[in-house]
Structure 1
């Protein structure tokens, strides 16, 4: 199954929204998960792919249900 550009955009938008709702800056997130602010920026803009390990760290940090991020891939 191919991931569409629309799905990708919705997924990265959910990452950014979760960060904002958590009250964190990109720099704060980067520090907490051991990466750079520019990396977080590139992930949120869809310029680079997100590794599973990094996603799991963000998932735990943002404390959102999985469907918050994966609703972009629902069959609805």
Structure 2
């Protein structure tokens, strides 16, 4: 199994989340409040230090007010067909 924590797809996911949060006009602290977590947790997610699962991605997308399929479309384009788990 390869280590995907620093994969291109993971990097793009982090970038997409940051861009969506900023487009929604939210600071990390404001998003954290909506998620009922600490700002440091949002910072770790956005920096790639903490990975999220699909359920967490749904919750974050809803908190930001972003469409999940739009976020995923950007990430999907960055994941190569030959990517292994």
TM-score (norm 2): 0.74
**Contact 1:19 1:25 (C-alpha < 8 Å) held by counterparts:** yes
Gaps of 5+ in 1: none
* Higher Cα Rg, which structure: 2
Structure 1 residue ranges (4+ consecutive) displaced by more than 3 angstroms after TM superposition: none
The aligned residue for residue 14 of structure 1 is 16
TM-score (norm 1): 0.81
Structure 1 residues 35 and 19 mapped into 2: Cα distance closer, same or farther (>3 Å)?
Answer: same
Mapped partners of 2:70, 2:47: distance in 1: 18
The structure where helix makes up a greater share of residues is 1
Q: Secondary structure, in 3 states, of the residue corresponding to 1:49?
A: coil
Gaps of 5+ in 2: none
Deviations 1:14-58 (A, max 9, x none): 001110001011001111110000000000000011134432221
Mapped partners of 2:23, 2:41: distance in 1: 19
